[in-house]
Structure 1
């Protein structure tokens, strides 16, 4: 974070009040596990960690747009469930990635091998997140505005995530924290006497990401049913995770929530690199997990594979491809399936903006509601639209209005504005087709105090709203319908805030902070 001093006059708080508020936040984070784990972190019985970056105050956001995003999530769930069962369309929009993008090549290769073996599970689970920012209407650039001016903006989608959607537990914690601070009066700093609106509980929406995500996995577990293999005595959800994970405080609460249900759902963790060592397939392709700490007991049959690893290109070496193939070939319900994973590529986001694309999957009314959240997105291939986009991207002046995005996950991969021409000049022309060109969203700029490892500073900020969705669907055999949605829910939300001059939003990479929307009435 860039260095700043706190101007307490903006928030009408004294130095003593601010110091007490910051101490309350630190104590709350420690007591609620709102932390990131340092790696390596364990010596003897100690564990090193540091608090997740957070906003000190909730940030203003229009209630109507928040509710709109919530309502839209079930439509987005329906859309991406259908896309994941439309192999023909999905291949048509991503096939150009295969020669130039190793991850796309690996995933499509694994899918083809799975088809050859025969797909034995026609039920899939999805834990999705659709991210939005407010866009100032009829403005060429972001401007500093009062909180009331957020009503002059519209809701625009940043991206859609269908794989390892992180941040749910952290978003749950920050909402609880801000609501607690409001409840005990920490934000009652005399705003009303100074003509400012008092922060009230009714303006801070509760969040239930942890319960919502766990419920989706539990439903999939229940649909799978009892063990099919004679050698297994129980079924369980298997979390596939990255080794030496610093973000366990975002993953573990979901695992604990499964065990804490009235009817506990067993859940285990397995490192990506240990899949082939610790799992096996039966002749009828049940996925058996052999926990190394339970060698004397029978294996566990896996009902649901929940992927929190496997989105990085480097994970798909020969061993990684074999490991993912073993999971895909099994009878376990995948969250997500390989085609659902491919649907999260930015090329899919771009293809959906084409005229008539949404109507392939949604009713006209639903398609219109989704399309209203889009900003212009262009391919960077050799199609007429792509050649036009290449001119925009290589023009030093025009490129300032755009973001160049590859089909990679995890944050930190995007190229912004006037950096685009120089970047493209360093990339071979065939590789250009692996990128999309997206018009920049111009959000209103507000004021807040952000608190992270680098310190506590005040400044101009912008925010991003994410809505978590959970869905369970079954592939249809008839040609009229692609899938039958068995469950469709909104799981919760996330809200992240960053300083306005920083391009990336990733919290765990140090760019932004978890926040709570302060819902404002028009």
Structure 2
């Protein structure tokens, strides 16, 4: 069976033109922030696939069902600072970002936390794993990572998903070539609607409502504060969330990380956070702080630390809290794969479901597991089957395959423990067309499915320990990114990857296309 559909040259030209028009009229763009044109706005289109990519419906549904368990797991871990410290203590000694975050948490803890609610906006990323020795075996879901801070791509994918559904409705994918019985025909029911923008704004709105009325004397209005990067090129993935909140009569403002946070916010004696807009003389009390920056080590200079500390000390509901931020470190992901780790937080049934998505992962420390990992990483014959990952957000930081050997030999051994070693996921290869800043591509591709989980939980005392009690939870939503199969990085910003949407099919069709 063949997919994507085989179009004529004229149809391809019309399809590309339609996609470009959609991108312009729906803001599927990245802003160019360093230009000399003062009286214009310069942008370039976000990378996109021309066709939705085939994906097994059973695994798409499974990933959605798993997200509620992942929400429960990561909320629980975020309230267990003893376990987190045990997992991260070696990293805190050698990693400046982990050290900065933990120091801020310790200072806040000493003064006493004044907000028990946390808003989680998570994105669990998966690839399909196909056993290379069993061509007839169905692929499985394997988790690449779980992100807990500044989870991006939701709005971009929403726009691309809507585009693919529109193109399907207008018959842009219907081939004028003579009909072939071997072509896969995708129906409209195979293209799931995307509600990520709605889910993100609804989650922030729920936290805003949970905060309640203003508590500062003389103030009546509350707002949500977005903490963003200066010279932000990715406004299209952020601004629509802000606009949606304003549409629900929830004031929402943006403040750049660092100096602007200190210049435009203040704490009351009872630790309410006040925002002082330049556009009005009266302060507004902040209900929720939503971090879309603050995930890079260079942001934690003296000013950056002071800004994060002020926000963390305040009464606002954070998304994420600093402990929830720390749960996104790769060391935590690896530690949760250890025997018995999941049972600390989940039922046996939940732990079994989650563990099936784990690829083998190892620390690079002095434990027996770490020594085994070092042997694997330093032998070219075994290193080629693994990926070396630091505890950093975003793409471009990993070391792949045999390059690991030379990388570790050039890295001081005391820094090795800041990495984890993960067995490579072997994804099935399909075909598609992509348009990105790197040009036009036709050929083999692999995809990564992201599932957004949005939940609000409360820290409660349970004897001598704290635990997370779920207050509200939204239905999961999704994103899909696709890249050239020969490239390791998935970065959409760099043009290696593209936003995409799935065409959901049953196993017979999916396996037939793989074997074609």
1:155 corresponds, among 133, 141, 152, to 141
For the residue of structure 2 that corresponds to 1:387, the secondary structure is helix
Q: Would you identify which runs of 4 or more consecutive aligned residues in structure 1 move more than 6 Å?
A: none
Q: Distance in 2 between matches of 1:491 and 1:30?
A: 28
Matched, 1:510 2:504: no
**What is the CA–CA distance in structure 1 between the aligned matches of 2:4 and 2:152, rounded to whole Å?**
33
Q: CA separation in 2, counterparts of 1:357 and 1:157?
A: 17
What SS does structure 1 have at the residue aligned with 2:384?
helix
Shift of 1:74: 0.7
Q: Is residue 115 of structure 2 the alignment partner of residue 121 of structure 1? A: yes
Preserved contact between residue 379 and residue 385 of structure 1 (Cα < 8 Å): yes
Matched, 1:40 2:34: yes
Mapped pair 1:198 → 2:185: yes
1:146 match: none
**Cα distance in 2 between the residues matched to 1:409 and 1:191:** 45
How far, CA to CA, are the matches of 2:302 and 2:193 in structure 1? 44
Tell whether the 8 Å contact from 2:5 to 2:184 is kept in structure 1 after alignment: no
Question: Do the aligned partners of 2:64 and 2:476 also contact (CA within 8 Å) in 1?
Answer: no
CA apart distance, 1:45: 3.2
Q: Does 1:226 align with 2:220?
A: no
**C-alpha distance in structure 1 between counterparts of 2:317 and 2:391, whole Å:** 25
Deviations 1:349-406 (A, max 9, x none): 0000001100101111011000000010000011110011001101111100000000
1:486 alignment counterpart: 471
SS at structure 2 position matched to 1:46: coil
**Is 1:103 the counterpart of 2:97 in the alignment?**
yes
2:378 alignment counterpart: 394
Answering whether residue 302 of structure 2 is matched by residue 288 of structure 1, we say no
RMSD, aligned CA: 1.6
Change beyond 3 A, Cα 1:191–1:377: farther
Change (3 A) 1:14 1:369: same
In 2, Cα distance between equivalents of 1:507 and 1:485: 33
1:193 and 1:315, CA in 2 relative to 1: closer, same or farther beyond 3 A? same
Normalised by the size of structure 1, how large is the TM-score?
0.94
Q: Aligned partners of 2:4, 2:145: CA distance in 1, in Å?
A: 33
Distance 2:238 2:35 in 1: 17
Partner of 2:510: none
Q: Distance in 1 between matches of 2:402 and 2:225?
A: 44
Distance 2:444 2:6 in 1: 17
Which residue of structure 2 aligns with residue 253 of structure 1? Answer: 240
- 1:10-49 deviation digits (Å, cap 9, x = unpaired): 7421111100000000000100001000012573431000
Aligned-partner Cα distance in 1 for 2:32–2:218: 39
The answer as to 2:496 corresponding to 1:498 is no
Deviation at 1:172, TM superposition (A): 0.5
Change (3 A) 1:192 1:485: farther
Tell me how far apart the structure 2 counterparts of residues 188 and 431 of structure 1 sit (CA, whole Å): 55
2:505 is matched with which residue? Answer: 520
Q: Deviations over 1:448-494 (max 9, x none)?
A: 11111222120110000000000000001123761110012234100
Pairing partner for 2:413 from 429, 453, 458: 429
Alignment partners' CA distance in 1, 2:318 and 2:467: 18
Question: Aligned match of 2:201 in 192, 211, 214?
Answer: 214
Equivalent residue in structure 1 for 2:155, among 169, 172, 176: 169
Match of 2:175 in 1: 189
Indicate the residue corresponding to 1:4 in structure 2.
Answer: none
SS in 2 for 1:382: coil
CA distance in 2, matches of 1:9, 1:62: 14
Partner of 2:340: 356
State the distance in 2 between where 1:257 and 1:221 align: 14
Judging changes above 3 Å, is the alpha-carbon distance between structure 1 residues 419 and 492 closer, same or farther for their aligned structure 2 residues?
same
**Distance between the aligned counterparts of 1:41 and 1:191, measured in 2?**
45
| Counterpart contact for 1:406–1:413, Cα < 8 Å | yes
CA distance in 2, matches of 1:451, 1:122: 45
Check whether the contact 2:343–2:351 (CA below 8 A) recurs between aligned residues. yes
Where does residue 370 of structure 1 map in the other structure?
354
Within a 5 Å distance, the mapping from 1:264-413 to structure 2 comes to: 264-273=249-258, 274-294=260-280, 297-413=281-397
Counterparts of 1:397 and 1:247, CA distance in 2: 40
SS for the counterpart of 1:72 is helix
CA distance 1:236–1:139, change in 2 (3 Å) = farther
Q: 1:126·1:472 contact (CA, 8 Å) conserved in 2? A: yes
* Distance in 2 separating the partners of 1:377 and 1:44: 49
Query: Does residue 22 of structure 1 match 2:16?
Result: yes
| 2: CA distance, partners of 1:451 / 1:312 | 29
Task: State how many pairs are aligned.
Answer: 503
The offset of 1:127, in angstroms, is: 0.2
Query: Residues 239 and 187 of structure 1: is their aligned pair in 2 closer, same or farther, counting only changes over 3 Å?
Result: same
The partner residue of 1:81 within 67, 75, 83 is 75
SS in 2 for 1:476: strand
SS of the aligned residue for 1:173 comes to helix
Q: CA deviation at 1:318?
A: 1.1
CA distance in 1, matches of 2:355, 2:300: 34
